[in-house]
Amino acid sequence: MRSYRAYVFGAIFVMAATISSGQQTGEITGTVTDATGAVMPDVTVIATNTATQVSRNTTSSQSGNYTIP
């Protein structure tokens, strides 16, 4: 009986790990510049998933760079 419980617990653990590892993540990075190519610091950058309408935002750095996880 004990080995059966251990087997079930192990199977549940493996299934949970497999499901959670299937999540895909990424990030968006870039540099904000104006029409002349000059960097633009402190600009709010917003990325919206059009399928879910979920938005994430960040502010560009002093060098115009931004990253949205």
pLDDT digits (tens, 9 = 90+) for 46-59: 999 999 999 999 99
Question: Which 3 state secondary structure label does DSSP give 58?
Answer: strand
13 or 24, higher pLDDT: 24
Alpha-carbon distance 8 to 15, whole Å?
Answer: 11
Can you name the residues that pair with 46 across neighbouring β-strands? 57
Alpha-carbon distance 34 to 22, whole Å?
Answer: 39
What phi and psi, each to the nearest 5 degrees, are found at residue 47?
A: -115, 130
Which pLDDT band, with edges at 50, 70 and 90, does 15 fall under? low
Q: How large is the average pLDDT for residues 16-31?
A: 70
**Is pLDDT at 33 greater than 90 in this prediction?**
yes
